[in-house]
Amino acid sequence: MLLSLGQFVFGIPTLSYQQLQRQNNWRWAANNRVGQRPARQFVGPGDDTINLSGWISPELCGDLKAIDTLRLMADQGEPYVLVDATGTVYGLWVIESLSETGTLHGIDSKPRRVDFSLTIARVDDDLIDQVGLITDAEAML
């Protein structure tokens, strides 16, 4: 197991990503001033996103159905708890985008290599109570 998003586990049998890129932003409100730089005030954290990218070769490792599973999870419109292999809980995350590119197609039109990219974004942890995921989050701990 590399990472778990809800009940979906990233790993060699499902989707093993090669790159994990995380980006954090912070919000600063700006007020223009005459003859000076704008005055800035910190107004809180901004977006926290993770992009997982990699490739699978269904003949060797990975499962095309895993991509379909992620697509179905995104269709639900629910936040999922993100946990890494060390047991660190990163909070609630939603699936923002998923892309796949199949190459090296065989005679049966099935791709022998599929590149994928998944973007997830963190949502406020206070949604745990609203969506009833408190027991799932506690179970992950």
Instruction: Write out the chain's pLDDT in tens, 141 residues.
Output: 789 999 999 888 888 888 999 999 999 999 999 999 999 999 999 999 999 999 888 777 777 888 999 999 999 999 999 999 898 899 999 999 999 988 888 788 788 888 999 999 999 866 555 555 444 444 444
CA distances from 84 to 35, 65, 67, 73 (A): 49, 22, 19, 19
Q: How far apart are CA 56 and CA 74, in angstroms?
A: 20
- Please report whether residue 34 resides in a domain: no
- Nearest 5 degrees, angle CA 23-CA 27-CA 33? 140
Find the domain containing 59 and state its range. Answer: 3-25+46-140
For residue 38, being part of any structural domain is answered with no
With respect to residue 39, please indicate whether it lies within any of the assigned structural domains.
no
pTM score: 0.78
Reference 137, options 76, 80, 77, 94; nearest CA is: 80
Total count of domains within the chain: 1
Residue 41 inside a domain? The answer is no
For residue 66, is it within any domain? yes
In a domain, 37, yes or no: no
Of 53, 58, 62, 68, the residue nearest 112 (C-alpha): 58
